[in-house]
Amino acid sequence: MINPDVALTIESFTPDEEHAFRIDAPMAVRGILRDIARHGERVALYYGAQAGGVIVTVILDLEAGGFWLDA
């Protein structure tokens, strides 16, 4: 179910654009996710690209092996 309060747009990037926005360092990704969790920002998680699955949720906490999401 898509939340009407969140505008979701899936965009394709050229290889150069993708390189400019890609974050490869695990510590950098963890830091960004921690900041998102700290501020209570909503996130959209995409799964099953063929089925168009989207979950809109809040990241509650991060651990070394993953993160906790709000149900």
The yes-or-no verdict on residue 59 having pLDDT over 90 is: yes
pLDDT at 3: 56
* 11-48: pLDDT as tens digits: 778 888 888 888 989 889 889 999 999 999 998 887 77
What pLDDT, on the 0 to 100 scale, is given for residue 45?
84
Q: Where in the chain are the domains?
A: 15-69
Closest CA to 55 of 71, 39, 33: 71
Distances from the Cα of 13 to the Cα of 10, 40, 59, angstroms: 10, 28, 26
